[in-house]
Copies of this chain bind each other. A is one copy, B any other.
Amino acid sequence: MADYVYGPGRNHLFVPGPVNIPDPVIRAMNRQNEDYRSPAIPALTKVLLEDVKKIFKTTTGTPFLIPTTGTGAWESALTNTLSPGDRIVSFLIGQFSLLWIDQQQRLGFDVDVVESDWGHGADLAALERKLRNDTHRTIKAVAIVHNETATGVTNDLAAVRRLLDAYAHPALLLVDGVSSICALDFRMDEWGVDVALTGSQKALSMPTGMGIVCASPKALEASKTARSVRVFFDWKDYLKFYEMGTYWPYTPSIQLLYGLRTALDLIFEEGLDNVFKRHNRLGTATRFAVEAWGLKNCCQKEECFSDTVTAVVVPPYIDSAEIVKHAWKRYNLSLGLGLNKVAGKVFRIGHLGNLNELQLLGCLSGVEMVLKDVGYPVKLGSGVAAAAAYLSNYTPLIPSRI
């Protein structure tokens, strides 16, 4: 069978991952297997490892392209740099930071959880207190999500670095950039991030299956003594094969390698900073729509608004899960559910990855109809109008097209 549930026209994919894959990437991946020990794949890998550093804005980092998901990338970041019992200060601000913390605990670390109400960013004041009091340097790492996908909240990583520097604290800075890297400005070197990571199916706009982890020299150094048990995720095996020039300790997906090549080509052609600006515009437009509908952003502070995902709070008399279900069934529109504490209370619009204005406006028009269908007194067209008014005012980003 061609598909499990068929409907005419395209699916409108606005979950915050997996995201829309650009056609050139689909084309590049439409291929046979190859021997990864031939001269061709190492040659390809070599340039990919150089180029992928650019999306982290690092020149000193060492990237790993691991056949895994974001969850595996998390595990790679933790087990390569820390030993069982090590203290991690970790921020709980939503479902994905929660899941990471759960992993940290199950991996045997001593997790010092700093919780915020969902919808707020990381509590940096609490971090400051902990750093100030940590005279014995028991904090081995600070773990933080750059962007909390469940609530649409972006944390201020530069501020985290300033605090660490202010206290000259040697803790490693481990960052989940799953829903930020390639969409939000991410500055690994400038911010002194020690491990940053993302997944291929997020803003890189590829299929799922590649966890991309980048380690600072300090993180690499830490990996030499970290005693966490690891094999599949062990950087050491990768580094050994990097040294030999064959690059792969085990079999990579040939298709994802060519897909990454094209995904990077497209990002560089648009310009990484233009990609960020585009995300900012689409995010801002979405927020104008939400405002026009009379609904609230789950994210409580404007400076934390996420340009990759907006969690929209629905009135108490509506179950947000109904919105998501109806959107998919009736309009072939995929929206994100509210998770855990905000289940039933928010739905999420993912606006990250390879997207343009009219795709977003189509989505917003769908959300309006869904809101109406579930009994919310929305004025049809209001959100689209607000978003379009904003979008039609800005200068186009791609001169070559104009």
Q: Which B residues lie within 8 Å of A75 (CB)?
A: 231-232
Q: Which B residues lie within 8 Å of A39 (CB)?
A: 5, 328-329
Besides A37-B337, A207-B256, 13 other CB < 8 A contacts? A2-B266, A4-B40, A7-B401, A8-B22, A10-B359, A33-B208, A34-B334, A67-B72, A199-B251, A208-B252, A228-B229, A369-B391, A385-B385
Q: Which of A199, A337, A392 has the most CB of B within 10 A?
A: A392
Task: Decide if A223 is an interface residue (CB 8 Å cutoff).
Answer: no
Q: Which B residues lie within 8 Å of A358 (CB)?
A: 9, 12, 331-333, 362-363, 365-366
The answer to whether A23 touches B32, judged by C-beta atoms less than 8 angstroms apart, is yes
Query: What 0/1 pattern do residues 1 to 36 of A give for CB contact below 8 A with B?
Result: 011111111111101011111111011111111111
Q: Which B residues lie within 8 Å of A199 (CB)?
A: 251
Question: Chain B: which residue is nearest A2 at the CB level?
Answer: B24
CA distance A17 to B380 in the complex (A): 30
The answer to whether A229 touches B107, judged by C-beta atoms less than 8 angstroms apart, is yes
Q: Which of A22, A355, A396 has the most CB of B within 10 A?
A: A22
The answer to whether A229 touches B9, judged by C-beta atoms less than 8 angstroms apart, is no
Instruction: Out of B9, B28, B74, name the residue touching A359 (CB < 8 Å).
Output: B9
Q: How many copies of this chain does the complex contain?
A: 4
**From residue A334, how far is it (CB to closest CB) to chain B in Å?**
4
The answer to whether B17 touches A251, judged by C-beta atoms less than 8 angstroms apart, is yes
- Which residues of chain A (247-263) have a CB below 8 Å from chain B? 249-256, 258, 262
Query: What 0/1 pattern do residues 298 to 333 of A give for CB contact below 8 A with B?
Result: 000000000000000000000000000000111111
Task: Decide if A95 is an interface residue (CB 8 Å cutoff).
Answer: no
Instruction: Out of B207, B232, B270, name the residue touching A255 (CB < 8 Å).
Output: B207
Task: Decide if A379 is an interface residue (CB 8 Å cutoff).
Answer: yes
The answer to whether B402 touches A330, judged by C-beta atoms less than 8 angstroms apart, is yes
CA distance A125 to B45 in the complex (A): 45
Q: Which of A32, A232, A275, A366 has the most CB of B within 10 A?
A: A232
**From residue A330, how far is it (CB to closest CB) to chain B in Å?**
6
Q: Which B residues lie within 8 Å of A9 (CB)?
A: 20, 22, 354-359
Task: Decide if A373 is an interface residue (CB 8 Å cutoff).
Answer: yes
The answer to whether A8 touches B389, judged by C-beta atoms less than 8 angstroms apart, is no
CA distance A333 to B396 in the complex (A): 14
Contacts A359-B362, A362-B362 given; indicate if A67 touches B70 (C-beta within 8 A). Answer: no
The answer to whether B8 touches A35, judged by C-beta atoms less than 8 angstroms apart, is no
Task: Decide if A162 is an interface residue (CB 8 Å cutoff).
Answer: no
**From residue A51, how far is it (CB to closest CB) to chain B in Å?**
13
Task: Decide if A244 is an interface residue (CB 8 Å cutoff).
Answer: no
CA distance A369 to B390 in the complex (A): 10
CA distance A2 to B24 in the complex (A): 6
**From residue A4, how far is it (CB to closest CB) to chain B in Å?**
4
Instruction: Out of B72, B103, B365, name the residue touching A361 (CB < 8 Å).
Output: B365
Question: Chain B: which residue is nearest A4 at the CB level?
Answer: B40
Task: Decide if A159 is an interface residue (CB 8 Å cutoff).
Answer: no
Q: Which B residues lie within 8 Å of A384 (CB)?
A: 361, 365, 380-381, 384-385
Q: Which B residues lie within 8 Å of A359 (CB)?
A: 9-10, 12, 362
